[in-house]
Structure formats: C-alpha cells, structure tokens
Structure 1
Amino acid sequence: MELKHVYIFLFDGYSDWEISYLTPELFKEEKISLKTFTINGAAITSMGGLKITPDLSLAQVKAEEVSVLVLPGGTAWEEHKIEGIDELVADLYQAGKTIAAICAATTYLGEKGYLDSVKHTSNDLDYLKSVAPAYKGEHNYQQALAVTAHQLITANGIAPIEFAVEIFKKLELHSEAAIEKWFQLFKNGIWSE
C-alpha cells in the first residue's frame, strides 16, 4: 500500500468549515498521511475561532512527498495577505501534483495564472475577476460547485462536500460507489446498504 501525503495549508482566519468534511475521512485512513502547515509553523486561529497548532512549517514541507495540497478559503486571500507559498505551489504544479483550492483560495490560483487554460470554478466569475485582476481564464469558467481538471481541483465556498468528493476521487480513497454513498449521506441524508 502506497502512502499518499495530503498537506493542508492553514493561516489566521482560514475558513474551517470548508475542510470539515474532508479532514475526518482522510485522518482515519491508514493509506493517507494528513499534515497541516503554516508559513512559520506557529499556531493560528481559524475564522470560527478554533486555535490550531500545525504539524509543520512551510520550510519543513518536502514538495516531492506531497500528493495533494489543499488550500482552504479565507479573507486573507482576498486581501492578498498570503505570502510565502508561491514557490511550493509552483514546484507542485510543475511536478504534476494535485492542488485543491476552495472559495477565496481559487482567487490565488486565478491571479497566478494556473486557471487560465483549464476548466475551473470559484464562488462566481465576477468575484474571481474582481479579486484576481491578472486572471485570464474566463473562457474556462464553469458554473459548478466543484471542478477537477487535470491536477487542479476548484470549488465554490458553499461546496465543502463536493470539494471533499473531488479530493477523495483524486486520491482513489474508495471506490466510486463508496464515494457516492458517502456523498449521498452527507449531502442528502440518504444512507443505503
């Protein structure tokens, strides 16, 4: 069994609910190594007031080990306060690793040009264009809750369940049928044996 490494980037004010369906499922899987990191390794406080001590600092993240990088949303992206992750994101992108962004984190990918030539989504096209002035991917924008295209996963901020599903599929966490069963339970309250 090959261990897959999922790294979640955390920062003060990150939108904790956007990864709340994702992390429990990954944490309990033996084939997944789930790590959180901040720029300097210091504790942060989520938008919901959760005080989090990360596993690592950015300097301790080894790009070659990363299977999936998860970027949760938060107003810090909109205010362009996130600094220091450009090199890691570029290295992962060039290596073909999966980068998953939800809500305001999609504006970072848009601003840096990662969304210019692949299908993607965000909170809204006008939102993405206004927050990311350098964004040039309008022709690839999808009015959808979550989109996976090549190595990029993007999601609307109201779609943490769909976001989780796309990451589960990319990681081949379970069979398609098992993932759909999980989705139906958490999205629609339907459980089938």
Structure 2
Amino acid sequence: MYAHNIYVFLFDGFSDWEIAYLTPELYKSDKANVYTFTVDGMAITSGGGLKISPHVSIEQINSQEVSMLVLPGGTVWEEKKPTGIDHLLEEIHVNGKTIAAICGATTFMAEKGYLDDIKHTSNALPYLKQFAPAYKGSRNYVSDLAVTDRNIITANGVAPIEFAREVFKKVALISEEGIEQWYQLFKNGVWSD
C-alpha cells in the first residue's frame, strides 16, 4: 500500500492550532507518513508555546519523495521574514505535488504567484492584497473557508477543520463518507453511524 509522505513546515511562532485537527489523523493513518521540518533542523516554539523538535531539516528532504507540503500560518509570512523554503516549494510545485497553505501562508503563496491562475481562498481578499503586493489572482478568489484547485489547497485561518478535510480528501485518507462523518463530529459535534 502506498503511503503519502506529508511534510509539515514548522517555524518559530507558527500557528499550531491551524494544523491541530490535521496532524493527529494523518499520523495515526497507515496511508500517511508525517514528517515535520524546520529550515535548520533545530527545535522551535509554536505560537501556542509548544517547544517542538522536528524530524528533519530542509536539507534532508528529497523533493521527489514529498507527496504534500503543509504550510501553517504565522506572522512570519506577513512580516516577510525569510523562510528558506522557496526552492523546496518550487520543486514540489513543478513536480505536481500538493501544497496546502492556511492563513498567513496563503500570502506567501500569493506573493510568489502560485495562486494567480487557480481558485483559492485566504482570510479575505483585501488581506491577500495587503500582504502580497505582487498578487494577481483576485479574479480567482473564492470566499469559502477552504478551497482545493489542482494541487493547491488554501484555507482561511479560522478554518482548521475545513483545511484538514480538504487534505484528507486529497490523500483519500478514508472514504468520502468517513471524511464527512469526521467533519460533522469535529465541526458540529454530531456523530452518525
């Protein structure tokens, strides 16, 4: 059975709550191998104060082996601090692999031109325009909580559950019915058999 290699980028101040629904389900599945990474392989502190040691550094990643790259939000994107992932992101995109970005990470994607020709979302269209001056994709902006188009998943920062659902669909983590059942449980507190 093929397992997707999903790499989650971590950095000081990343919004840990935005991937809090995503990573546990992926981690416990035999359909996904989850790897966290930082630019230098050193421990970081999340926006929620969690000290986390990554699995690998960016130099240890073979882009050919990446199925999906997950970019959580955080102020680093809006402040345009160097992230050190430009080259890896471009390789993954060129290889047709999935990139999943939520909240502030969508501004990075927009600034780099990845959202210009696909349907996408973010925290709001004015937000994207403010933090990504080179952005040219406003005609493709969709006011939804999460959007998947081709191999790019984008989500509003208030939509970690919708973000997770889109990732689960992309990797076929479980059946469509199972994903919807999971979604209803965590979004609405409703469990159905």
When the two structures are superposed, what TM-score results if normalisation uses the length of structure 1?
0.99
- How much has 1:83 moved relative to structure 2? 2.6
Residue matched to 1:24: 24
Residue matched to 1:134: 134
Hey, what's the Cα distance between the residues in 1 that align with 2:170 and 2:19?
A: 16
- How much has 1:3 moved relative to structure 2? 1.6
- How much has 1:19 moved relative to structure 2? 0.1
The superposition leaves residues 28-48 of structure 1 with CA deviations (integer Å, 9 ceiling, x where unpaired) of 012211000000000000000
Hey, what's the Cα distance between the residues in 1 that align with 2:131 and 2:156?
A: 14
The superposition leaves residues 135-191 of structure 1 with CA deviations (integer Å, 9 ceiling, x where unpaired) of 000000000000000000000000000000000000010110000000000000000
Hey, what's the Cα distance between the residues in 1 that align with 2:159 and 2:16?
A: 13
SS state at 1:12 partner: coil
Residue matched to 2:59: 59
Residue matched to 1:14: 14
Residue matched to 1:72: 72
The one-letter amino acid paired with 2:115 is L
Hey, what's the Cα distance between the residues in 1 that align with 2:25 and 2:182?
A: 10
Residue matched to 2:97: 97
Hey, what's the Cα distance between the residues in 2 that align with 1:181 and 1:86?
A: 36
SS state at 1:47 partner: coil
Hey, what's the Cα distance between the residues in 2 that align with 1:104 and 1:82?
A: 14
RMSD of aligned residue pairs (Cα, Å):
0.5
The one-letter amino acid paired with 1:43 is A
- How much has 1:84 moved relative to structure 2? 1.3
**Displaced runs of 4 or more, over 4 A:** none
The one-letter amino acid paired with 1:154 is T
The superposition leaves residues 74-121 of structure 1 with CA deviations (integer Å, 9 ceiling, x where unpaired) of 001000113311110000101100000000000000000000000000
Hey, what's the Cα distance between the residues in 2 that align with 1:63 and 1:82?
A: 20
The one-letter amino acid paired with 1:103 is C
Gap regions ≥5 residues in structure 2: none
Residue matched to 1:2: 2
The alignment covers a number of residue pairs equal to: 193
Hey, what's the Cα distance between the residues in 1 that align with 2:63 and 2:82?
A: 19
Hey, what's the Cα distance between the residues in 1 that align with 2:162 and 2:83?
A: 27
Residue matched to 2:152: 152
When the two structures are superposed, what TM-score results if normalisation uses the length of structure 2?
0.99
Gap regions ≥5 residues in structure 1: none
What percentage of residue pairs aligned between the two structures are identical? 63
The one-letter amino acid paired with 1:191 is W
Residue matched to 2:188: 188
- 2:25 pairs with 1:34: no
Hey, what's the Cα distance between the residues in 1 that align with 2:32 and 2:148?
A: 20
Hey, what's the Cα distance between the residues in 1 that align with 2:95 and 2:36?
A: 21
The one-letter amino acid paired with 2:82 is I
